[in-house]
């Protein structure tokens, strides 16, 4: 209900923008210019808008953000094959999602996520946009950690799975896929162990097994294992805890020089000692 009400408000704001200064298809500063000059100016303005949205949008009224957003959207519509504009538009969408996620303005966040998905789908050959989308999916799951939105998280993971199938050789996409799982496990397995937790752990384990030599993916797997160890320690599930701890040790043994993985092993070992102290 809250999401729906917020979405109605977003639609109202966006309609207002369309009736205001962003109404024209061609921004006023580009009138009278040749196509090439106008396109070059659009690229420069899109860079400015990225900076405005990234650094100043959080301090402005929401209507001003949507003015900037509409301006970028118009540039992308007018110059659909300009990769610089596509990239700047995608960057601004990423920054917007971080802003709305931090505010817990989830309706705005999902609205902007839809725009990023549209941009990527219309330019499937542009792998930079695909990598941005994968990163954003991971960030969205992280922001949902505070909402206990299991359904929303599952939906995002499903969308990311489809993306991975299409770009299975893209290591950046795969790394964000792994990070999405570790984010989800950190949230949904932090307070209790359940079926969702088992399913997520099984799936990230399969991903890790398919990419055994990738330290980025294995570090996310190690992060997930550490989260599970913390849960098992609180629940005093010693046998299962030891199995997962052994698994974490194996990962750490394969990457002895990876600082992140070694730190996670140290943390997992400390967490496991909590269960041992309860039995003393």
User: Which of 93, 123, 153 represents a domain boundary (last residue)?
Assistant: 123
90 shares a domain with 16: yes
203 shares a domain with 92: no
Biggest CA–CA distance in the chain, Å, is: 81
pLDDT for 125 beyond 60: yes
Residue 134, domain member (yes or no): no
- Express as a percent the part of the chain with pLDDT over 70: 82
pLDDT at residue 197, rounded to an integer? 83
172 shares a domain with 108: no
> pTM for the complete prediction?
0.81
H and E: helices and strands count for the chain: 12, 0
Token code pair at residue 52 = 């405005």
Residue 246, domain member (yes or no): yes
Calculate the average pLDDT of the chain: 86
The pLDDT tens digits of the residues spanning 135-166 come to 999 999 888 876 656 777 888 999 999 999 99
135-144, 192-201, 220-229, 257-266 — which is least confidently predicted? 192-201
184 shares a domain with 98: no
User: Which of 105, 123, 141 represents a domain boundary (last residue)?
Assistant: 123
Higher pLDDT, 233 or 153: 233
Domain that holds residue 96: 1-123
12-16, 163-167, 188-192, 231-235 — which is least confidently predicted? 12-16
Read off the pLDDT band of 77 (50, 70, 90).
very high
Instruction: State the DSSP code for 255.
Output: -
pLDDT at residue 195, rounded to an integer? 74
**Terminal C-alpha separation, the chain:** 49
The pLDDT tens digits of the residues spanning 187-217 come to 777 666 677 788 889 999 999 999 999 999 9
Residue 235, domain member (yes or no): yes
User: Which of 123, 139, 174 represents a domain boundary (last residue)?
Assistant: 123
Read off the pLDDT band of 276 (50, 70, 90).
low
238 shares a domain with 169: yes
Residue 130, domain member (yes or no): no
109 shares a domain with 216: no
Residue 6, domain member (yes or no): yes
166 shares a domain with 111: no
Residue 141, domain member (yes or no): no
100 shares a domain with 20: yes
Residue 75, domain member (yes or no): yes
172 shares a domain with 119: no
Residue 142, domain member (yes or no): no
Q: Is 185 exposed, middle or buried (0-12, 13-18, 19+ CB in 10 A)?
A: buried
169 shares a domain with 277: yes
192 shares a domain with 115: no
**How many separate domains does the chain show?**
2
Q: Is 22 exposed, middle or buried (0-12, 13-18, 19+ CB in 10 A)?
A: buried
pLDDT for 30 beyond 60: no
The pLDDT tens digits of the residues spanning 96-123 come to 999 999 898 999 999 999 999 999 999 9
172 shares a domain with 117: no
Higher pLDDT, 81 or 17: 81
Q: Is 55 exposed, middle or buried (0-12, 13-18, 19+ CB in 10 A)?
A: exposed
């Amino acid at each position: 209900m809250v999401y729906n009400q917020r979405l109605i408000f977003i639609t109202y704001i966006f309609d207002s923008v369309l009736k205001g200064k962003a109404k024209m298809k061609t921004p006023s500063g580009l009138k009278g210019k040749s196509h090439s000059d106008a396109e070059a100016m659009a690229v420069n303005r899109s860079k400015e808008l990225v900076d405005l949205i990234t650094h100043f949008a959080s301090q402005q009224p929401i209507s001003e953000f949507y003015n900037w957003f509409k301006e970028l959207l118009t540039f992308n519509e007018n110059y659909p094959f300009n990769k610089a504009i596509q990239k700047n538009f995608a960057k601004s969408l990423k920054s917007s999602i971080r802003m709305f996620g931090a505010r817990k303005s989830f309706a705005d966040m999902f609205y902007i996520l839809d725009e990023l998905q549209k941009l990527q789908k219309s330019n499937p050959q542009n792998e930079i946009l695909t990598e941005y989308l994968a990163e954003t999916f991971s960030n969205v799951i992280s922001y949902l950690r505070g909402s206990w939105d299991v359904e929303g998280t599952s939906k995002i993971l499903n969308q990311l799975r489809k993306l991975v199938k299409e770009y299975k050789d893209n290591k950046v996409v795969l790394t964000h896929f792994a990070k999405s799982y570790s984010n989800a496990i950190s949230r949904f397995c932090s307070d209790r162990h359940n079926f969702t937790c088992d399913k997520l752990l099984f799936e990230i384990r399969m991903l890790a097994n398919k990419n055994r030599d990738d330290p980025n993916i294995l570090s996310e797997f190690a992060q997930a294992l550490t989260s599970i160890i913390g849960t098992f320690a609180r629940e005093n599930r010693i046998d299962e805890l030891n199995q997962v701890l052994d698994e974490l040790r194996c990962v750490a043994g394969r990457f002895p020089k990876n600082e992140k993985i070694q730190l996670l092993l140290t943390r997992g070992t400390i967490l496991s000692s909590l269960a041992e102290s309860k039995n003393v």
